[in-house]
Amino acid sequence: ETGVTQSPTHLIKTRGQQVTLRCSSQSGHNTVSWYQQALGQGPQFIFQYYREEENGRGNFPPRFSGLQFPNYSSELNVNALELDDSALYLCASSPGGTPQETQYFGPGTRLLVL
Amino acid sequence: GENVEQHPSTLSVQEGDSAVIKCTYSDSASNYFPWYKQELGKRPQLIIDIRSNVGEKKDQRIAVTLNKTAKHFSLHITETQPEDSAVYFCAAIHTGGFKTIFGAGTRLFVKA
């Protein structure tokens, strides 16, 4: 198993609420990426952070935001939750600032929006 | 925009047979192509990757080939075993970009 952890494992929210998901990267990994994986689909890139700065973003609206902290932890925040936000949210960490590196995934947080 | 198409969506093989999964990418500037295996309820795990300066790479029963001209890359699993049953994802990463584009996945069933 990788050294990447996520919390919580499962979460139930209602439409319109806000949620914060947390990720603890492998020690020494300066890059963290977040993905949304809907049931039966591949992970969709949300954004990536390198040394606390966002350096890449996928096709997700601004209500998806993130933070990365110096202690190798990070957060994904989603405001004004919609039913379609129900998915598995994965974070993945890698050592440096280049994209062609092995990414180590966490176990994910399964979010259900009712 | 960038896109990765993956086929087939489901693949069923007999134990000991070979399995081939194919992907096509749209962004010609992609230069790194990892493959992930995801077992039910678990995280994706890297099983093999290939960079654009290499045409083929092998690791025991797993091999990946890349055709940059056609923008195709494929995963080959030989002598399949029941524990190979999982969902496999291909991905493409743009050089200089910071976005990994995944295919939709292939569910592989290996029948004992």
Which pLDDT tens digit goes with each residue over A81-96? 999 999 999 999 988 7
Which pLDDT tens digit goes with each residue over A29-55? 889 999 999 988 999 999 999 999 998
Which pLDDT tens digit goes with each residue over B24-55? 999 888 889 999 999 988 899 999 999 888 89
Judge: A45–B95 Cβ closer than 8 Å, yes or no.
no
Going by C-alpha positions, the residue among A2, A55, A76 that lies closest to residue B97 is A55
Mean pLDDT score, A17-35 = 93
Judge: A103–B95 Cβ closer than 8 Å, yes or no.
no
> According to the model, what pLDDT value does residue A81 have?
98
> According to the model, what pLDDT value does residue A44 have?
95
* B66 inside 8 A of chain A by CB: no
A15 burial via Cβ count (<10 Å: 0-12, 13-18, 19+): exposed
Cα of A94 to nearest chain B Cα, Å: 12
Q: List chain B residues with CB under 8 Å of A42.
A: 4, 6, 89, 91, 102-105
Angle at A70 between CA A69 and CA A72, to 5 degrees: 75
B79 burial via Cβ count (<10 Å: 0-12, 13-18, 19+): exposed
Q: Given B1, B51, B104, which is nearest A41 (Cβ)?
A: B104
* A39 inside 8 A of chain B by CB: no
Q: List chain A residues with CB under 8 Å of B1.
A: 59
Residue A1 has pLDDT above 70, yes or no: no
Cα of A70 to nearest chain B Cα, Å: 20
